[in-house]
Amino acid sequence: MREGRVQVNGVPVTAMGSVVIPGVDTVSLDGTVVRPAARRWVVLHKPTGVLCTRADPHGGETIYDRLPDWAASLRYVGRLDRETSGVLLMTNDGDLGAALAHPSGRVEREYVARVAGQVTARALRSLRRGVELEDGFVRPRLVRKVRVGEEDWGLRLIIMEGRKREVRRLFKRVGHPVVALERTRFGPFRLGRLAPGAWRPAHSRELADAHALAKRRNRGRSRRHTGGPHA
């Protein structure tokens, strides 16, 4: 840019941080029009033992090892720890990804957990009332006992934010540490029958619902900043 090689609508631009409007302004480098990359959304079934990172200095497997080469530019939305499996969103759409991941968006995350010990009615009541963790109070939107095998039972849980290891800390606090944990849904994106390690493009209906969630979040923020719809 300092050399004057970048032009916006035919005019050289040398100021760093100059703003352009995608789809309206034309950006070129050395006379060649620069076009933004197509927006991509991928739903990956992250297996246990796989890291949400670009590369592991210790040689461990990462999520990018499970994706095609063209997906190297995608970033994950709402990471999962090494031992948690399930829905992991990958995208190059930074704005929508950030809107879905931010706690203020109140986007549902659904998990199914196998936990240690026989789940008691007391533990269920505690979870439904909410639990105070080190970084704040957590009250799941839904807690339900579910069968996770022929003889085993676990818990289905829906939370509205994604703090670090939140679900594991929640179950540990009520006396039932997690044995196995899977995220089955992130907002409108569902795991379904996707096999561990497999991926698929996001469905158009999922993306439409995700954009609707982001718009509702933005409307809510605007009302808070202006003092409400009647201010």
Predicted confidence (pLDDT) per residue in 167-180, tens digit: 999 999 999 999 99
Judge whether residue 231 has pLDDT over 70.
Answer: no
Q: What local confidence, expressed as pLDDT, does residue 212 receive? A: 94
Q: Which residue is catalytic, options 81, 95, 135, 152? A: 81
Structure-token match 């009615």, residue found: 121
Q: Which of 22-36, 147-161, 212-226 shows the lowest mean pLDDT across its residues?
A: 212-226
What CA–CA distance (Å, rounded) separates 138 from 136? 7
Predicted confidence (pLDDT) per residue in 186-203, tens digit: 999 999 999 999 999 999
Classify 195 as helix, strand or coil.
Answer: coil
Please name each of the domains of the chain with its CATH number: 1-36 (no CATH), 37-105+188-202 (3.30.70.580), 108-186 (3.30.2350.10)
| Long-range pairs of 199-207 with CB within 8 A, sequence gap ≥ 24 | 199/42, 199/43, 199/44, 199/45, 199/66, 199/67, 199/90, 200/42, 200/43, 201/40, 201/41, 201/42, 201/43, 202/41, 202/42, 202/43, 202/89, 206/41, 206/43, 207/41
Reading the block at residue 92, the tokens are 């190059």
User: Rounded to the nearest 5 degrees, what angle is found at the Cα of 150, between the Cα atoms of 192 and 181?
Assistant: 50
Judge whether residue 181 has pLDDT over 50.
Answer: yes
Backbone angles phi, psi at 219, to 5 degrees: -65, -40
Q: What local confidence, expressed as pLDDT, does residue 42 receive? A: 97
H or E stretch covering 187: none
Reading the block at residue 156, the tokens are 């289905």
Judge whether residue 218 has pLDDT over 90.
Answer: no
Active site residue 65: no
Q: What local confidence, expressed as pLDDT, does residue 220 receive? A: 58
